[in-house]
Amino acid sequence: MRPDPTVAGQHFEAMGTACAIFAVGRAATPEAEAWVHEMAARLTRFESDSELSRLNAHAGHWVDVTPVLEAVLRAAERAYVMSSGLVNAAVLPSMVSAGYTRTFSDGPMRMTLDRPQPTPALPAVLEIRPGRARLEPGAGLDLGGIAKGWMCDRLCEQLGPNAVVNLGGDLRAVGPGPRGDGWPVGVAGVTLLLRDQGAATSSVRRRRWEGAHHVIDPRSGQPSDSGLEEVSVVAADGFEAEVVAKTALLLGPDLAPAYCARHALAWWLDGRHDG
């Protein structure tokens, strides 16, 4: 994007990834960055005092939850339905078994996977009531990309009618952009002009250790080996793009094109077996 005096923007690090905010006619204020850090602190599983960690730690009991966590838990339910169970926030035990026990900034990880088990259906282990939630004993949630997609949509709404938010590859653009023809956004190596749309990339090429990676296939409980290594999509909003991209990655090269044709506005598939 060429500099434009009507566009205010800022870059920052949050959730272990690069983030960016741009808005026309309104400053992308420090309050927006502070909001991202606050949401990330509530929804991370890597800090024992986060709201999500408290829910995970009290599996088997009803736990009071804030409207924020309740909203993201309900988003996780929607993701499960949209993906026919492939985007399943209940993969946390499998992620831990695979060695994803801490953030990458804390050093290398080691795979501990012994006898992987399929992930239980999310509705079987998570109950939500207004202001309360309960996990079945032994269950745990990782909200990961679901939370990022939800956050970029909420923040974009807060910034006004002409803005773009990118939280580590989960992106939402609203309004006509700085020149009236959309927001220029790089997706899968090309520049697109997005207006009132979202984009996301799901990849097994990053966040890797000892041959494992962070994208768990809930059908096996193991890191995905679908034949696709990276999927980028454009969809109606950031949350939907996140869910569609991850679902397509897990489906693999044979089924992903048909799925994307039904659920995405545009898509790019990259893997070992595609032409």
Structure tokens belonging to residue 184: 């220029």
CB atoms within 10 A of CB 19: 25
Q: Is the pLDDT of residue 115 over 80?
A: no
- What pLDDT score does 113 carry? 55
* Side-chain half-sphere CA neighbours of 162 within 13 A: 14
Q: Which residue has the higher pLDDT, 241 or 213?
A: 241
- What pLDDT score does 17 carry? 87
pLDDT digits (tens, 9 = 90+) for 215-272: 899 999 888 888 999 999 999 999 999 999 999 999 999 999 999 999 999 999 998 5
Classify residue 80 by burial, with Cβ atoms within 10 Å: 0-12, 13-18, 19+.
Answer: buried
Cβ atoms of 152 and 171 within 8 Å: the answer is yes
Q: Which residue has the higher pLDDT, 69 or 31?
A: 69
pLDDT-above-90 percentage for the chain:
69
Count how many domains the chain has. Answer: 1
Does any domain span residue 76? yes
Q: Is the pLDDT of residue 111 over 60?
A: no
CATH code of the domain containing 243? 3.10.520.10
Q: State the average pLDDT for the chain.
A: 88
Q: Is the pLDDT of residue 208 over 60?
A: no
Does any domain span residue 1? no
- What pLDDT score does 10 carry? 87
- What pLDDT score does 73 carry? 98
Least confident of 69-73, 88-92, 149-153, 224-228: 224-228
Q: Is the pLDDT of residue 200 over 80?
A: yes
Does any domain span residue 2? no
- What pLDDT score does 273 carry? 40
Full DSSP string of the chain: ----TTEEEEEEEETTEEEEEEEESS---HHHHHHHHHHHHHH-SSSTTSHHHHHHHTTTSEEE--HHHHHHHHHHHHHHHHTTTSS-GGGHHHHHHTT--S-GGG-------SS--PPPPHHHHEEEETTEEEE-TT-----HHHHHHHHHHHHHHHH-SSEEEEETTEEEEESS-SSSS-EEEEETTEEEEESSEEEEEEESSSSEETTEES-EETTTTEE--SSEEEEEEEESSHHHHHHHHHHHHHH-TTTHHHHHHHH-SEEEEEESS--
Cβ atoms of 220 and 91 within 8 Å: the answer is no
Least confident of 76-85, 90-99, 160-169, 205-214: 205-214
Task: Write the CA distances from 240 to 125, 135, 146, integer angstroms.
Answer: 23, 25, 9
Segments forming the whole domain that contains residue 194: 7-271
Q: Is the pLDDT of residue 181 over 60?
A: yes
pTM of the full structure: 0.89
Q: Is the pLDDT of residue 275 over 60?
A: no
Backbone angles phi and psi of 3, in degrees to 5: -55, 140
- What pLDDT score does 103 carry? 56
Range with the largest mean pLDDT of 2-11, 115-124, 253-262: 253-262
Does any domain span residue 256? yes
